[in-house]
Amino acid sequence: MNAKFTLSAVVLAATFAGSAFAESPTIASEQFTGARSRVEVQAELQAFKQSGVNPWSTQYSQVKNFNSTRTRDQVVAEYLASRQEVSAFNGEDSGSVYLAHARGIGHAPSTLAGSNSNGL
């Protein structure tokens, strides 16, 4: 039993044993030339730090300084007026039937396959 186990282990090890062909790292021969100088980049970093706003922070609020031009009643009225459209777009077909009917069925397309931009 030990001989069979040892033989199968040796065969298995020989199967997976092989040479690893590691490649050398790619060395880029192109020199990078930045569009801005080091002073400009450092000035931008300093302005970012002084602003006190970090959009990658977990406490960052996108709507902190947002001021709406419409009242809540106006927004609610607009939503209620478009309730059917909202329901259609949230439906099972994601509004494709609504859009097909809104576009009008039976209208000929203005561009045919194979026609060029000059209409020839």
The mean pLDDT of 67-92, rounded to a whole number, is 89
Residue 66 binned pLDDT confidence (cut-offs 50, 70, 90): confident
Give the Cα separation of 67 and 86 in Å (integer).
25
> What's the token pair of residue 50?
């002084």
Question: Using an 8 Å Cβ cutoff, are 6 and 14 in contact?
Answer: no
Residue 104 binned pLDDT confidence (cut-offs 50, 70, 90): low
Tally of CA atoms within 13 A in the half-sphere of 5 that contains its CB: 2
- The burial of 89, by beta-carbon neighbours within 10 Å (0-12 exposed, 13-18 middle, 19 or more buried), is given as middle
Evaluate if residue 119 carries a pLDDT over 60: no
> What's the token pair of residue 35?
């569009």
Question: Using an 8 Å Cβ cutoff, are 82 and 69 in contact?
Answer: no
Instruction: Supply the pLDDT for residue 77.
Output: 93
Question: Using an 8 Å Cβ cutoff, are 86 and 79 in contact?
Answer: yes
Residues present in the chain in total: 120
The pTM of this model reads 0.33
